[in-house]
Structure 1
Amino acid sequence: MSRQSPFGHPFLLGFDEIEQALDRVAKAPSDGWPPYNIERLTRTELEPERLRITLAVAGFTRDQLEVSLEENQLVIRGKQQSEDKGRQFLHRGIAARQFQRAFLLADGMEVLGADLSNGLLSIDLVRPEPERIIRKIDIMARDRA
């Protein structure tokens, strides 16, 4: 039994990449850690409308975090160094583990920068306003004999 695609409509042309992106997102593993927020920041006089992704990365230093743009994915990785073997824990509730979280970005999205403050890693994104392009298409007349 084949799956019916919402992009299979004859009026939707050239949306194959979007369908593939949705399939990738649906199949991506998600363990929910670290927790994150995504918020829309309204336009100001000095800055355009932006999106901000904020991850809770308490216990990670700037050197233990990596933010990269890989094709159209924003990838955030965290890797803590292994603990000193000489330490003896009576209770271990804070895990030292690594993580990778990826966000699929739409075409044209730009990463403005990243900031680590008080255990929160914030990454600002912006989508530049597209130019409105109107182009007239000439119609050729071909008489058939």
Structure 2
Amino acid sequence: MATFDFAPLYRSAIGFDRFAQLVDDALRSDAQVSYPPYNIELVAEDQYRITMAVAGFSRDELELETERDVLKVTGRRQRSETKSTYLHRGIAARDFEHRFSLADHVKVVGASLDNGLLHIDLVREVPEALKPRRIAIGGADVHLIDQKAA
């Protein structure tokens, strides 16, 4: 497995320690989550949609939760009291928990369940204080407050 040295990044950039941690976590995760299958779509600039195939799950069996910068999607099937005998079982009916790491200022704005697909809408809302702004350069009308000789 390849290892990366982020020391040069730390010398010249501030605040990228979280990025290094994300890369490290991605390299360490051996088990890739494959159930349920999902898509991540860029809908428009700063708008995203996660679509998960959750066939057989009802609204009551699905739960979405955000905590800090993590979106957790959980599916817990209610167990049927009748025992079925399957000749072939190709539809997965297992519980799942999937976590998505969200970038700064990305928020979940809605979710819907339609035809077995769970759609989760996200948007990046950068606060006004963090958006780029122009700074005017002052003219020659700068006044000195104290010009006394010592």
Question: Where on the TM-score scale, by shorter chain, does this alignment land: which range?
Answer: 0.7 to 0.9
Q: Rg: which structure is higher? A: 2
Q: What is the CA–CA distance in structure 2 between the aligned matches of 1:10 and 1:32, rounded to whole Å? A: 38
CA contact (8 A) 1:7 1:15 kept: no
Q: Give distance in 1, aligned partners of 2:22 and 2:4.
A: 16
Per the alignment, residue 35 of structure 1 pairs with 37
1:99 and 2:101 correspond? no
**Aligned partner letter, 2:99:** A
1:121 paired residue number: 118
Which of 80, 86, 89 is residue 89 of structure 1 equivalent to? 86
- Residues 6 and 64 from structure 1, CA distance in 2 versus in 1: closer, same or farther, beyond 3 angstroms? farther
What amino acid sits opposite 2:41 in the alignment? E
Find 1:77's aligned residue among 74, 94, 98. 74
Kept after mapping to 2: 8 A contact 1:7/1:19 = no
Residues 10 and 17 in structure 2, CA contact (< 8 A), matched pair in contact too? no
Q: Which runs of 5+ in 2 are unaligned?
A: 137-150
Paired letter, 1:31: V
How far apart in 2 are the matches of 1:135 and 1:19? 32
Is the partner of 1:20 in helix, strand or coil?
helix
Contact 2:109 2:122 in 1 (8 A): yes
- Which residue is equivalent to 1:14? 15
The CA RMSD over aligned residues, in Å, is: 2.4
Residues 49, 120 of structure 2: 8 Å contact kept? yes
Please give the alpha-carbon distance, in whole angstroms, between the structure 2 residues aligned to 1:8 and 1:86: 58
1:135–1:23 CA distance, 2 compared to 1 (3 A): farther
Partners of 2:14 and 2:112 lie apart in 1 by 39
TM-score of the pair, normalised by structure 2: 0.75
**What is the aligned residue count?**
130
> Which one-letter code corresponds to 2:21 in the other structure?
Q
Query: Secondary structure of the equivalent of 2:20?
Result: helix
Shift of 1:13: 1.7
Query: Deviations 1:91-138 (Å, cap 9, x if unpaired)?
Result: 2222220111111001111110111000000111111145224679xx
Distance of 1:40 and 1:14 partners within structure 2: 26
8 Å CA contact 1:64–1:80 kept in 2: the answer is yes
Helix, strand or coil for the counterpart of 2:21?
helix
